[in-house]
Amino acid sequence: MTISSPVLRNSMRLILPLTLLYALFAMLKGHNEPGGGFIGGMIFATAVCTYRMSHGYAAQLRLLPIHPRILIFLGLGLALGTSAVPLLLGHPFLRSAVGEFHLPFTHHPFHYASAMAFDLGVMLVVVGVAVGMITQLSEELE
Amino acid sequence: MNLSNLIILFIVIPMGTGVLGVLFKYQVGLMRVLGSLSLASTALLAVGLLIHLRSHETGILVTQMGAWPAPYGISVVFDSLSGLLLAASSLVALGCYVHSFSTVSAAAQARYFHPMVQLLMFGVNLAFLTGDLFNLFVSFEIMLMASYCLLTFGGTRLQMTQAYKYVLLNLVGSTIFVIGAGLVYGMTGTLNFADLARFVAERQALGEDLPTGFTALSIALLLVFGLKGAIFPLWFWLPDTYYTANVSIAGLFAGMLTKVGIYAIARTFPMIFAHGGSEATKVVMPILAISAAFTMFLGVLGAVSHHNIRRILAVHVISQVGYMVFGLALMTQIALAGCLFYMIQHMVVKSCLFLCCGIIERHTGTDDLDRSGGLLRRDWYLALVFFIAAMSLVGLPPLSGFFGKLVIIREGWDTRWWLSIFGLLTGALTLLSMLKIWSYCFWSPQAAAVERPAGESPPPGSMRPAYAGATLLVLVALFLGFGAQPVYEIAFRAGEQLADPRDYITAVLGPESLDHLAGRDLRSPAELAAAARREATP
């Protein structure tokens, strides 16, 4: 379903990058604060679907040139892989590695956890499911 | 390598295979190999761990997800109860999965059939392994989600109608479940089974009352589990649902899904809600006993009255669930062991009968008893497999059903003799209904040939996987009959673990968790009375 509105088309230029950036931000801050892969994925998918509304399906394919099924596979694989790695090291499933490292030119140490990769996987799954569903439904409508 | 970390493989393997199935959606051949390997490996793993645990001190393996300690994190527990059920369910799934190669159309197979089977097993395995109530809910949801998809493969109008009812009913059940889980957390401050068992045992040992409403809560959860397990009077959804699904999938469901509900009762009630002489026990036990009698007897009456193979088999699932609830209603160590043995043998045998039904349908083009016949001459091998499975279901002595029924009925004779009489009567009627299928389908002369539409007759050799699946299950059923001794050893240990939660609690929460209850017997009064009876009659 495409809405041919110049207002929407032009404002999407601003909205799209901001929303995608915010999705990434929500995903990353989910480690210690409200947010996380699921919310980040929803926001990402909203951006993609709004873009589809303003620019059409072909433009969406250029923006996200991966089949949603593959996104779901990558996301689930990443999440499952991250959770299974500790098994090889003799730790329980889902055990997260945590630590800190210093980025050059910054004062604050950067706190990382391998659970972040799990969250990224969740995000990919949510994007894949949401975009895939909306694509299927709008195909039926058209 | 720490062995207990490995029990998570029961969840990782099917999930990983399911994920690969999403990628290789159209590579049906590859997915068949991967899927069979996944189910076979979980079955082997379960059997291997069970054999290993026979000499283990407590017989319970525990892993804490992400190394978060027990009542706060997610515990995954492998004890004798879950081990036996995991082994049986993986084998049943393997048989039905191989059978589905000949019954599920190629178009359906390329529509996420393979990932759905794996995700169903992911949910089932998680349900058997999880150590807390909320994750039990989650695993029910995973399992149901996959079952909704599998139920509607084919997408006929009838399937959609039945699936709609099934989805609606299960949504209601899940809602009550999650409300119940919330209330449990509110009343006790924990959802972990071991911690709950400790909470209840502690209150009783110190002579304190359980929180107000604990009984009502246990009834609400019994309602949910009873709905999944199809016990009286919550069975009404079952016959139609199994009737409309593809026959291999119906076999898978008949083996697996009701048993998960019964498992949930077996896991939570003896240890937690109906533990000891609590008020809940006095309410729950009679309910379970009466419901067992009705489930057994009315179920088998339904089976006798039907005249259509699949309906007979589907209604029979209900009647057999009654025996398991019978074992639960006694709630002694031996009755629980009998219940567990009956569960695994029923999973195998009932699925095998459904798989045979699939082959019969292929031969005759119908599952109406009146229009089939003469199969004994046309296919003696199928007749043999069907006969062994049917007689196992009835419980003819050297076969598996006998040992399950024997233990439960014998144990019930002292305290609830009327239930045992219902059990025996049901056995006789089961024989009648199985003989009905046997004599109409196999012994009667060939019925008038059913005219098939042109082009529908299957290519020769396409039924080989179906025979392979049925053969696998009938071999397992024979093993359960002739090798009942080692299986029962493990089942008795499971009964012990359920009747006396001490081992389970210390395995999950650590050895200090019961220090302040030292020396107190945590077994229930029913179990103590049964133990006294056992000692009196050597």
Report the gap between the CA of A104 and the closest CA in chain B (Å): 31
Burial class (CB in 10 A: 0-12, 13-18, 19+), B268: buried
Beta carbons of B237 and B165 less than 8 angstroms apart? yes
pLDDT greater than 90 at residue B252: yes
Q: Which long-range contacts (CB under 8 A, 24 or more apart) does B416-419 make?
A: B416/B289, B416/B329, B416/B330, B418/B293, B419/B289, B419/B292, B419/B293, B419/B326, B419/B329
Please indicate whether, in this complex, the C-beta atoms of B65 and A94 are within 8 angstroms of each other.
yes
pLDDT greater than 80 at residue B452: no
- Number of Cβ pairs < 8 A linking chain A and chain B: 49
pLDDT greater than 90 at residue A23: yes
What ipTM score was computed for the predicted complex, to two decimals?
Answer: 0.89
In Å, how far are B297, B355, B397, B427 from B391, measured between CA atoms? Answer: 18, 15, 9, 11
Residue B454 has a pLDDT of 47
Residue B242 has a pLDDT of 84
Residue B350 has a pLDDT of 94
**Between B533 and B53, where is the model more confident?**
B53
Please indicate whether, in this complex, the C-beta atoms of A87 and B6 are within 8 angstroms of each other.
yes
Q: Which residues contact A139 (CB under 8 A, 6 or more apart)?
A: none
Interface residue of B17, B19, B114, B116 to substitute, partner A, most A CBs within 10 Å: B19
The answer to whether residue A118 sits within a structural domain is yes
Quick check: B3 contacting A, CB < 8 Å?
no
Please indicate whether, in this complex, the C-beta atoms of A87 and B5 are within 8 angstroms of each other.
yes
CA distance linking residue B292 with residue B444, whole number of Å: 35
Average pLDDT over residues B502-512: 87
Interface residue of B9, B13, B22 to substitute, partner A, most A CBs within 10 Å: B22
Residue B536 has a pLDDT of 78
pLDDT greater than 80 at residue B503: yes
Token code pair at residue B39: 């189910």
Q: Give chain B's mean pLDDT.
A: 88
Average pLDDT over residues B42-58: 90
For residue B132, list its beta bridge partners: B192
A93: left (phi over 0), alpha (psi -120 to 50) or beta: beta
Domain ranges of chain B: 154-447+462-533
* Domain that includes residue A75, residue range: 6-141
Report the gap between the CA of B19 and the closest CA in chain A (Å): 6
Q: Which residues of B touch A68 (CB under 8 A)?
A: none
Q: Which residues of B touch A76 (CB under 8 A)?
A: 15, 19, 22
pLDDT greater than 80 at residue B355: yes
pLDDT greater than 60 at residue B6: yes
Average pLDDT over residues A42-49: 94
Interface residue of A72, A85, A93, A94 to substitute, partner B, most B CBs within 10 Å: A93
Confidence grade of residue B458 (pLDDT, cut at 50, 70, 90):
low
- Give SS3 for A40: helix
H/E stretch holding B101 reads helix B80-103
pLDDT greater than 70 at residue B447: no
Quick check: B16 contacting A, CB < 8 Å?
yes
H/E stretch holding A110 reads strand A109-113
Quick check: B8 contacting A, CB < 8 Å?
yes
Beta carbons of A109 and A101 less than 8 angstroms apart? yes
CA distance linking residue B174 with residue B180, whole number of Å: 10
Residue A114 has a pLDDT of 84
Q: Give chain A's mean pLDDT.
A: 89
Quick check: B12 contacting A, CB < 8 Å?
yes
**What whole-number percentage of chain A has pLDDT above 70?**
99
Average pLDDT over residues A62-69: 91
Residue B237 has a pLDDT of 85
Average pLDDT over residues B1-25: 89
Q: What is the total count of domains within chain A?
A: 1
Please indicate whether, in this complex, the C-beta atoms of B19 and A73 are within 8 angstroms of each other.
yes
Q: Which residues of B touch A67 (CB under 8 A)?
A: none
Please indicate whether, in this complex, the C-beta atoms of A93 and B63 are within 8 angstroms of each other.
yes
Pick from B16, B25, B76: CB nearest A69: B25
Average pLDDT over residues A40-60: 91
Residue B523 has a pLDDT of 72
Pick from B12, B66, B76: CB nearest A95: B66
B156: left (phi over 0), alpha (psi -120 to 50) or beta: beta
The answer to whether residue A1 sits within a structural domain is no
Pick from B6, B12, B23: CB nearest A80: B12
B319-353 pLDDT, tens digit each: 999 999 999 998 888 999 999 999 999 999 999 99
pLDDT greater than 90 at residue B224: yes
B63-115 pLDDT, tens digit each: 998 888 888 889 999 999 999 999 999 999 999 999 999 888 877 888 889 99
Report the gap between the CA of B488 and the closest CA in chain A (Å): 31
Average pLDDT over residues B207-211: 82
A66-98 pLDDT, tens digit each: 999 999 999 999 999 999 998 888 888 888 888
Quick check: B72 contacting A, CB < 8 Å?
no
Please indicate whether, in this complex, the C-beta atoms of B2 and A90 are within 8 angstroms of each other.
yes
Please indicate whether, in this complex, the C-beta atoms of B19 and A84 are within 8 angstroms of each other.
no
Confidence grade of residue B450 (pLDDT, cut at 50, 70, 90):
low
pLDDT greater than 80 at residue B446: no
A93-118 pLDDT, tens digit each: 888 888 888 877 777 887 788 888 99
Q: Which residues of A touch B7 (CB under 8 A)?
A: none
Quick check: B1 contacting A, CB < 8 Å?
yes
Which of B34-38, B155-159, B226-230, B491-495 has the lowest average pLDDT?
B155-159
**What whole-number percentage of chain B has pLDDT above 70?**
95
B253-296 pLDDT, tens digit each: 998 889 999 999 999 998 888 887 677 788 888 899 999 999 99
Quick check: B19 contacting A, CB < 8 Å?
yes
